Amino acid sequence: MKSTMMVAELSINDIFARAARLFPQSEVVSLLPDKSLRRQDYAQITVRARALAHALRALGVEKGDRVATLCWNHHAHLECYFGIPLAGAVMHTLNLRLSPAEIGWIAGHAQDKVLVVDNVLLPLYRQVSQHHGFRHVIVFPFGEAQLGEAQLGENVLDYERLIAPHLGRDFTPVPHDENDPIALCYTSGTTGRPKGVAYSHRSTVLHSLVGALPENWGLKGSDKVFAVTPMFHANCWGVPYGALMCGASLVFPGQHLHAEDLLDLMVREQPTLALGVPTIWLSLLQAMEASPGRWSLPPGMRSLVGGAAVPESLIRAFAAKGVTIVQGWGMTETSPLASTSYIKPEFQNAGEDEIFRRKALAGVPVTLVDLRIVGDAGELPWDGKSVGEVQVRGPFVSGTYHEVEPDPDKHTADGWLRTGDVGSVDAAGYLRITDRTKDLIKSGGEWISSVDLENALMAHPAIAEAAVIAVPHEKWTERPVACVVFKKGHEATPEMLNRHLAASFARWQLPDRYEVLEAIPRTSTGKFWKLRLREMFPA
Amino acid sequence: MKSTMMVAELSINDIFARAARLFPQSEVVSLLPDKSLRRQDYAQITVRARALAHALRALGVEKGDRVATLCWNHHAHLECYFGIPLAGAVMHTLNLRLSPAEIGWIAGHAQDKVLVVDNVLLPLYRQVSQHHGFRHVIVFPFGEAQLGEAQLGENVLDYERLIAPHLGRDFTPVPHDENDPIALCYTSGTTGRPKGVAYSHRSTVLHSLVGALPENWGLKGSDKVFAVTPMFHANCWGVPYGALMCGASLVFPGQHLHAEDLLDLMVREQPTLALGVPTIWLSLLQAMEASPGRWSLPPGMRSLVGGAAVPESLIRAFAAKGVTIVQGWGMTETSPLASTSYIKPEFQNAGEDEIFRRKALAGVPVTLVDLRIVGDAGELPWDGKSVGEVQVRGPFVSGTYHEVEPDPDKHTADGWLRTGDVGSVDAAGYLRITDRTKDLIKSGGEWISSVDLENALMAHPAIAEAAVIAVPHEKWTERPVACVVFKKGHEATPEMLNRHLAASFARWQLPDRYEVLEAIPRTSTGKFWKLRLREMFPA
């Protein structure tokens, strides 16, 4: 027999139409380059996104064409999130932290036809344009332009002038299948060339629904979401789609990611949910410690932190300030939410230590994501001890890369994504990431977890940040070297630090060397840049 | 270009596997016929559901076969919700409130092959069996059997004995497509024969995700859900699937739906969320008023009430007792959640009166449900005034009926469900149901809303329940007659009641006649049985 249910395709155009109709009053607040605020509501944003769709069609953009963005987090970037798919095209968010050559290579590989770029990023665009030619370049007047149009060529258009004739016009979305792509994002490519992940209407709607569930973002119309995560990282972790689905307001920091600016904006806008990477959240703590009493975090604010392991000390420090952190684990290939460290009912009365310990784990797989741990001999039990590669699958997990041949190093023959993370799952279903495959330290035939060492070091009162790398060693193959940043006015000797670590690590696992830095270099995604550290501190 | 996302079908078997793996400790509490409690956890329930799937396959059940249930709300019925689809079959919940002939007709129309029936319902089964022969009848020992097996025939099996050999065995779900059916439910058939709605894996997973969102059920693993809604009504409003998805515990009242029993169970189990129809919720208030101090509702409990209009007075009365009611509107054809009366952010500071007024509306369409109001001349604006037929569409809305020819009275040519409800939507997106098409009263060429009259009457201090029906009238076509039940120790004259109504109704809209009853007759779904009232009180 057959189901009697309607054939109704999932579409983010429906999420958009819902937002326009039901939530016209929800706000979108953007911090401009001059640090003034631009306040808009969904009514304006949706009118502008429809106008953008008209303008793109008028420029000759066709179904499936790639329209790239090279933008900070702000309202016009949000307009691209919806206006580009409305027009049937695929939004390709370019990572402005990469080198111009890399950005150009990625734009070329994706065959980007049109670019939407912030005027403050025109110097970067000019360098990128040496490597890839866009047919049209649409310049959004975000702040003071740093290059005149005359210097840029004839194919350059002004965003506001382009959309102006279409403001207020309705737009009928270009017909599509639920599996058609809406957005393209290249992974940062720690090994080999960057690779593109293309999200579909279906995957994005499903990810938005799962993300909005009470134990993940817990998103309501009354929420105000502070999206610190760059909009070119896994679509800002998918939260702009979720926000429009639920009618939540959004606050974007623009290009101002310094702790002081972020804290000022939090105090001013009082978000209820904030999303970002642990390194930025660490910088917030440091700024608050350096200027006690200058800022108070919004009372009761929730925070989803991910993109790298979240140290327990960070979670505790925010809890002491009234902010609940939930850790999310995932990656560009998983849309990105694959697990969250919410506290399951059986641990809610387990005592503070156990609760914080669990919050510092990568968490429980979210609905619709299937997860397994695979060792050399196959799938491993969920016993909290068996460590192997973490593999996932599900309707918002990428099964291939855009225009790349299938690679058994990336996907298994039975259809799972090999995440490159190594970890274990305990009997309660909590994933613990031990390391990235490539960040494990192999010493004397045994493995040392750089993540465990980093977390333990960051719990030391003198240490603000710590990154542990493997350096080649003649006898032991590899040995750990710890790169540390001290808190202002604090320091500690290697002996003191090793004594601190000895409480939880075997003697042979302790770092051989400590390197004291002013700051740990970061990748374009705000993670500790271990590749750079390995170059700085060879054997 | 193509999306790179995995082809991963939605399946409630995955929800089941997730529950078994991640939430073994979540509870399922069933009130037995002798009023003792049976406590089980998901670990037991999932083992038993897998065993049921084995047993059904061993009986010869094949993919797409219908396995019917004739059961109260309890753990074995929950096992059927998952065990039957695991086996590739379709669970068909039979409505035990219907007449034996009707149940038999429905079972025959659905070609039900196997029946799972509570032993306390064997007398009913024996009558049903005169109208439809099941190949196998599996009797669940819920309470004291009221008929011996010997009296029932050779094809009768004991549920516990049947599953016992398979307990602890894994079960590989029968392969399926996400659009394959998992459950079948016949509408009560107020006009014409009952009609079957067949839910799919896809529709059920999507409905569970939408239902679990913070503004609908707001479901977390720490929730304890009191499922008073019969499991044969739109799959218990879909909440058992949502509960297993999130790991929430479930409390089932078995056959005990009297207010005293429900209140005793609430006090004992302290649910955090309770689902039921307004008539039963009215009876809870009456019982609490009759025995002041005997029960206190669980503090902070949320409640989703639907299936019929929820009077504002009911919502206020529960709010005064610390329980928040959200009204849900929908029907068997909509899985059933189509809109919920949550308070949008712009009304959260609008004052108590405005908030309660909005809570008494049918609410805002849920995500993935598209809604329009259609009048004689086409789609009507969302202005709060334009009244027409409510039409919906979406991936968990039924687009046909099982083995019934397409009917333009049920579905429009452009693919919308004609709900049979009449109403308007205001600019903020709140649906107000004025009436069922067939319950509107046409007097002198104008329409009178029976729902509005009922709500106003139920706000009168002397009235416990009120149902307003249309009776034929020579001059005016139809006139309203109000059937009322007074609160214990209260009464009021028709003049007093009409004076009360005159504050909000025109003179010609007031009831011509009041009929005082001991209780208002109810349909099998617990709604006021207006058909019966019209028979009782002809012109």
* Predicted local confidence at residue A97, as pLDDT: 84
Residues B503 and B481 sit within 8 Å (Cβ to Cβ): no
Contact state of B22 with A64 under an 8 Å Cβ cutoff: no
What percent of chain A shows pLDDT beyond 70?
97
Residue A119 has pLDDT above 80, yes or no: yes
For residues A498-526, average pLDDT: 87
A37-51, A89-103, A440-454, B314-328, range with the lowest pLDDT: A440-454
| Contact residues for B233 (Cβ-Cβ < 8 A; gap 6+) | B95, B185, B307, B332, B525
* B389 and B457 assigned to the same domain: no
Element holding A329 (H helix, E strand): strand A324-330
* B117, two tokens: 């029936």
Closest CA to B194 of B238, B230, B227, B233: B233
Last residue of a domain, one of B414, B437, B460: B437
Cα B277 to Cα B78, B216, B311, B338, distances in angstroms: 20, 16, 11, 16
Please determine, for residue B36, whether its predicted confidence score (pLDDT) is greater than 60: yes
Instruction: Tell me the sheet residues that pair with A417.
Output: A392, A411
Q: Does the beta-carbon distance from A8 to B397 stay under 8 Å? A: yes
B191 pLDDT exceeds 60? no
**Is residue A222 assigned to a domain?**
no
Biggest distance spanned by C-alpha atoms of chain A: 73
**Last-in-domain residue among A437, A462, A477:** A437
Name every chain B residue with its beta carbon within 8 A of the beta carbon of A173. none
Q: Is B202 on the interface with A (CB under 8 A)?
A: yes
pLDDT for the residue B505: 86
Cβ contact (<8 Å) for B22 and A364? Answer: yes
Report the pLDDT value the prediction gives residue B445, as an integer from 0 to 100.
67
CA–CA dist B252, B227 (Å, integer): 6
Mean pLDDT of A217-224: 98
State how far the Cα of A439 lies from the Cα of A434, in Å rounded to an integer: 9
Element (H, E) at A266: helix A259-269
CA distance B210 to chain A (A): 7
Asked if A221 has any chain B CB less than 8 Å from its own CB, the reply is yes
Chain A nearest-CA distance from B66, in A, is 9
What pLDDT, on the 0 to 100 scale, is given for residue B532? 86
Q: What are A336-378's pLDDT values in tens digits? A: 999 999 999 999 999 999 999 999 999 999 999 999 999 988 9
pLDDT tens digits, one per residue of A242-282: 999 999 999 999 999 999 999 999 999 999 999 999 889 99
In this prediction, residues B152-166 reach a mean pLDDT of 92
Structural domain of residue A282, as residue ranges? 258-437
Contacts of B340 in chain A (CB under 8 A): none
Give residue-wise pLDDT tens across range B327-361: 999 999 999 999 999 999 999 999 999 999 999 99
Tokens linked to A83: 């206006």
Tell which wins on pLDDT, B444 or B309.
Answer: B309
Please tell me chain B's helix, strand, coil percentages from 3-state DSSP, rounded to the nearest 5: 30, 25, 40
Q: For A467-493, how does the pLDDT look when each residue is reduced to its tens digit (9 = 90+)?
A: 999 888 887 878 999 999 999 899 999
**How would residue B438 be classed by pLDDT, with cut points 50, 70 and 90?**
low
Cis preceding-peptide flag for B336 (omega within 30 of 0) = yes
Are B273 and B302 within one domain? yes
Answer whether A104 touches B (CB < 8 Å). no
In chain A, residues 497-526 whose CB comes closer than 8 Å to chain B? none
Angle made by CA atoms B525, B530, B532, in degrees to the nearest 5: 95
* A441 residue type, one letter: I
- Nearest-by-CA chain A residue for B6: A399
Q: How many residues belong to chain B? A: 539
Q: What is the mean pLDDT of residues B137-161?
A: 85
Q: Identify the three-state secondary structure at position B408.
A: coil
Average pLDDT for chain A: 93
**Partner residue opposite B221 with nearest CB, options A4, A215, A401:** A215
Of A8, A18, A202, the CB nearest to B393: A8
Give domain status of residue B226, yes or no: no
pLDDT of A189: 55
Q: Span B523-533, mean pLDDT?
A: 78
Residues B447, B317: one domain? Answer: no
Closest residue in chain A to residue B89, using alpha carbons only: A1
Enumerate residues 6+ apart whose C-beta is below 8 A from B65.
B88, B89, B90, B113, B114
The verdict on residue B236 lying in a domain is no
The residues in B 335-354 lying below 8 A from A, measured between CB atoms, are 342, 344-346, 348
d(CA B326, CA B336): 15
Are residues B396 and A5, on separate chains, in Cβ contact within 8 Å?
yes
Residue among B213, B232, B274 at smallest CA distance from B69: B232
DSSP symbols for B88-139: T-EEEE--TTS-HHHHHHHHHHTT--EEEEEGGGHHHHHHHTTT---SEEEE
Give the residue numbers of B annotated as catalytic, written as ranges: 187, 333, 442, 447
Closest to A1 (Cβ–Cβ): which among B90, B210, B396?
Answer: B90
For residue B301, being part of any structural domain is answered with yes
Q: Is the pLDDT of residue B320 over 70?
A: yes
Of B384, B409, B437, which residue constitutes the final position of a domain?
Answer: B437
8 Å CB contact of B214 and A219? yes
CB contact under 8 A, B5 and A199: yes
Whether residues A2 and B26 touch (CB distance < 8 A) is answered with: no
* pLDDT value at A96 more than 60: yes
Confidence of residue B193 (pLDDT cuts 50, 70, 90): confident
Residue B197 to residue B78: CA distance in whole angstroms: 19
Backbone angles phi and psi of B9, in degrees to 5: -75, 145
Same domain, B138 and B44: yes
| Shortest CA gap A442–chain B (Å) | 33
Give per-residue pLDDT as tens, B67-92. Answer: 999 999 999 999 999 999 999 999 99
Yes or no, beta carbons of B344 and A221 under 8 Å apart: yes
Amino acid at A457: L
The partner residue sitting opposite A215, judged by closest CB among B2, B220, B399, is B220
Put simply, whether B109 touches A (Cβ < 8 Å) is no
Q: Give the separation between CA B506 and CA B508, rounded to whole angstroms.
A: 6
A303 — contact with chain B (CB < 8 Å)? Answer: no
Tokens of B339: 């809109």
Give me B40's structure tokens.
């089980």
CB contact under 8 A, B397 and A219: no
Chain A nearest-CA distance from B493, in A, is 44
- Among all chains, which residue has been given the structure tokens 């102006």? A164
Task: Round to whole Å and give the CA distance between A97 and A492.
Answer: 33
d(CA A415, CA A398): 10
- Looking at every residue in chain B, the average pLDDT score rounds to 93
Set of chain A residues whose Cβ sits within 8 Å of the Cβ of B198: 1-5
Give the minimum alpha-carbon distance from B295 to chain A in angstroms, rounded to a whole number: 27
User: For position A99, what pLDDT does the model report?
Assistant: 83
- Check whether residue B463 and residue B417 sit in a common domain: no
The whole-number pLDDT of residue A412 equals 95
Task: Evaluate whether A436 touches A422 at the Cβ level (below 8 Å).
Answer: yes
Q: Is the pLDDT of residue A449 over 90?
A: no
| Higher-scoring residue by pLDDT: A189, B155 | B155
User: Which chain B residues contact residue A179 at CB under 8 A?
Assistant: 2-3, 5
Domain annotation covers residue B65: yes
Question: Does residue B209 sit within a domain?
Answer: no
What's the pLDDT score for residue B189? 55
- Would you call B206 an interface residue with chain A, using a CB distance cutoff of 8 Å? yes
* A429 vs B: CB within 8 A: yes
Measured distance CA(B491)–CA(A94) in Å, rounded: 73
Side chain identity, residue B440? L
A445 in the same domain as A374? no
User: Does one domain contain both B153 and B196?
Assistant: yes
Least confident of A38-52, A145-159, B5-19, B308-322: A145-159
Domain count, chain A: 3
Question: Which residues in A lie closer than 8 A to residue B400 (C-beta atoms)?
Answer: 4
Highest-pLDDT range among A49-63, B139-153, B187-201, B502-516: A49-63
Helix (H, G, I), strand (E, B) or coil at A41: strand
Tokens 């792509």 belong to A181
Residues A454 and A348 in one domain: no
CB contact under 8 A, B5 and A399: yes
Residues 439-458 of A with CB under 8 A from B: none
Does the distance separating the beta carbons of B393 and A199 come in below 8 Å? no
> pLDDT at position A192, please?
66
If DSSP codes are grouped into helix, strand and coil, which group holds residue B256?
Answer: coil
> B198 and A7 in contact by Cβ < 8 A?
no
Verify that A457 and A403 share a domain, yes or no: no
In the block, which residue shows the tokens 């017909």?
A175
Looking at the partner chain, which of A18, A213, A222 has a beta carbon nearest the beta carbon of B212? A213
- Residue A405 near chain B (CB below 8 Å): no
Angle (deg, nearest 10), helices B201-212 and B239-246: 70
Q: Which residues of B touch A198 (CB under 8 A)?
A: 1-5
Quick one: what percent of chain B has pLDDT higher than 90? 81
pLDDT of residue B116: 98
* Residues in contact with B183: Cβ distance below 8 Å, sequence separation at least 6, in sequence order: B81, B85, B90, B91, B92, B93, B198, B199, B204, B235
Q: What is the pLDDT of residues A145-160, one digit of tens each?
A: 766 666 677 899 999 9
**Residues of A known to be catalytic:** 187, 333, 442, 447
Is A128 among the domain residues? yes
Record: contact A209-B214, CB cut-off 8 A: no
Q: Are B476 and B411 in the same domain?
A: no
CATH number of the CATH domain containing A139: 3.40.50.12780
Block residue for tokens 């739109």: B234
pLDDT beyond 80 at A523: no
- Within 10 Å of residue B357's Cβ, how many Cβ atoms? 16
Q: How far apart are CA B174 and CA B182, in angstroms?
A: 12
A21 touching chain B per CB within 8 A:
yes
Is residue B15 within 8 angstroms of chain A, CB to CB?
Answer: yes
ipTM beyond cut 0.95: no
Of the candidates B307, B195, B236, B237, the residue with the CA atom closest to the CA atom of residue B72: B236
Which of A486, A478, A487, A464 is CA-nearest to residue A512? A478
Say whether residue A413 is in contact with chain B using an 8 A CB cutoff.
no
Residue A76 resides in a domain? yes
Q: Which of A434-448, B294-308, B480-494 has the lowest mean pLDDT?
A: A434-448
One domain for residues A447 and A404:
no
Instruction: For residue B503, report the phi and psi dihedrals to the nearest 5 degrees.
Output: -65, -30
User: Chain B closest CA to A384's CA: distance in Å?
Assistant: 14
Best mutation target, B2, B6, B324, B417, to test chain A (most A CBs within 10 A): B6
- What confidence category does residue B145 fall into, taking pLDDT thresholds of 50, 70 and 90? confident
pLDDT of residue B142: 96
Q: Which of A153-157, A178-182, B52-56 has the lowest mean pLDDT?
A: A153-157
For residue range A282-317, what is the model confidence (pLDDT) as tens digits? 999 999 999 999 999 999 999 999 988 889 999 999
**Is residue A214 within 8 angstroms of chain B, CB to CB?**
yes
Contact of B425 with chain A, judged by CB distance below 8 Å, is answered with no
Q: Give the type of residue at A451.
A: V
A46 and A24 housed in the same domain:
yes
A167 to chain B, closest Cα gap in Å: 21
The verdict on B413 touching A (C-beta cutoff 8 Å) is no
Query: A172-181, A342-351, A394-403, B447-456: which range is least confident on average?
Result: B447-456
Residues of A numbered 379-398 whose beta carbons fall under 8 angstroms of chain B's beta carbons: which are they?
A: 382, 393-398
Q: How far apart are the CA of A459 and the nearest CA of chain B, in angstroms?
A: 30
List C-alpha distances in Å: A392 to A92, A525, B4. 24, 22, 15
* A285 has a chain B CB within 8 A of its CB: no
Question: What residues contact residue B277 under an 8 Å CB cut-off, 6+ apart?
Answer: B229, B305, B306, B307, B308, B525, B526, B527
